[in-house]
C-alpha cells in the first residue's frame, strides 16, 4: 500500500502504473542495447557489469528463454543509477546531445581539411593557432600527399588519413577542460 502523506495529501511513492511504465521503458532500452552491433555498443557508456548480461542475451535464440533473459537484463539495468540510464538513452538517441557534439566535431574536422587543401599555409597557421597540440610536420605532409593524389587521380588514402588526424586533434581539444 502506497499511503498518503497526512500533511500534504500527496502519495508517498509512485503508483503501480507509473512503476510499470518505468520498468517497460528500461525493458525497451535493454532490447535496444541487445540489438546494437558490438562496435556501437562499445561506444556507449554501458557499465561493465551489464556487458556479460547483454552478451548472454544475444547468445540465446529460443524465444521464451530470450524473453526471460531480457527481463533479467532489464532487472539488472533497473539497479543502475538513473543518471547512467539517461546517459545511455542520450547516447542511443540519434538527436541526443552526445550525437550532436560528435557530429559537430566531425563537421569541424571536415571544414579544416577542406580549408587546408584549398588555402594551404594560411589555413595551417590558423589551425595551429586554434589547436597548438597539432603535429605541424605530419599535417603538411598529409596535405601535400592529398593534393598529389587529387592531381594524379589516385585513391584518397592521404585525404582520409588527414581527416582522421584532424578528427583526433579536434577531439583532443574538445575533451580537454
In this prediction, residue 137 carries a pLDDT of: 94
Cell numbers standing for residue 33:
542495447
Among residues 92, 125, 156, the one where a domain terminates is 92
Kindly state whether residues 42 and 80 are assigned to the same domain.
Answer: yes
In this prediction, residue 153 carries a pLDDT of: 92
119-146: b or e for each residue (b if 16 or more CB lie within 10 Å)?
Answer: eeeebbeebeeebeebeeeebeebbebb
In this prediction, residue 2 carries a pLDDT of: 61
In this prediction, residue 59 carries a pLDDT of: 94
Q: Is residue 6 part of a domain?
A: no
In this prediction, residue 91 carries a pLDDT of: 80
Query: What CATH number is given to the structural domain containing 42?
Result: 1.10.60.30
In this prediction, residue 94 carries a pLDDT of: 63
Q: Is residue 5 part of a domain?
A: no
Among residues 41, 65, 92, the one where a domain terminates is 92
In this prediction, residue 95 carries a pLDDT of: 53
Task: Determine the Cα–Cα distance for residues 86 and 64; give it in Å rounded to an integer.
Answer: 28
Q: Is residue 164 part of a domain?
A: yes
Helices (H), ranges, 60-120:
63-78, 82-92, 97-119
**Residue range of the domain that includes 103:** 98-175
Kindly state whether residues 102 and 171 are assigned to the same domain.
Answer: yes
Count up the domains in the chain and report the number: 2
pLDDT, one tens digit for every residue, the chain (177 residues): 466 777 887 777 778 898 899 999 999 999 999 998 888 888 888 999 999 999 999 999 999 999 999 999 999 999 999 899 988 888 887 655 666 788 888 999 999 999 999 998 999 999 999 999 999 999 999 999 999 999 999 999 999 999 999 999 988 865 554
CB of 123 within 8 A of CB of 112? Answer: yes
Kindly state whether residues 164 and 118 are assigned to the same domain.
Answer: yes
Question: How far lies 71's CA from each of 54, 55, 85, 138, 145, in Å?
Answer: 11, 14, 16, 51, 54
Phi-psi region of 82 (alpha: psi -120 to 50; beta: other; left: phi over 0): alpha
Q: Is residue 10 part of a domain?
A: no
In this prediction, residue 20 carries a pLDDT of: 92
3-16: b or e for each residue (b if 16 or more CB lie within 10 Å)?
Answer: eeeeeeeeeeeeee
Cell numbers standing for residue 30:
535493454
Amino acid at each position: 500500500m502506497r499511503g498518503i502523506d497526512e500533511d500534504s495529501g500527496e502519495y508517498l511513492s509512485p503508483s503501480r502504473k507509473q512503476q510499470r511504465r518505468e520498468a517497460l521503458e528500461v525493458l525497451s532500452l535493454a532490447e535496444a542495447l541487445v540489438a546494437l552491433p558490438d562496435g556501437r555498443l562499445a561506444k556507449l557508456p554501458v557499465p561493465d557489469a551489464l556487458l556479460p548480461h547483454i552478451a548472454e542475451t544475444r547468445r540465446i535464440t529460443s524465444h521464451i528463454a530470450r524473453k526471460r533473459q531480457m527481463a533479467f537484463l532489464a532487472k539488472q539495468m533497473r539497479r543502475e543509477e538513473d543518471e547512467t540510464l539517461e546517459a545511455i538513452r542520450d547516447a542511443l538517441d540519434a538527436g541526443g546531445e552526445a550525437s550532436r557534439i560528435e557530429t559537430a566535431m566531425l563537421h569541424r574536422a571536415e571544414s579544416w581539411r577542406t580549408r587546408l587543401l584549398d588555402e594551404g599555409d594560411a589555413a595551417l597557421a590558423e589551425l595551429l593557432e586554434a589547436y597548438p597540440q597539432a603535429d605541424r610536420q605530419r599535417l603538411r605532409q598529409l596535405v601535400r600527399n592529398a593534393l598529389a593524389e587529387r592531381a594524379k587521380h589516385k585513391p584518397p588514402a592521404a585525404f582520409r588519413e588527414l581527416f582522421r588526424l584532424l578528427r583526433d586533434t579536434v577531439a583532443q581539444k574538445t575533451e580537454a577542460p
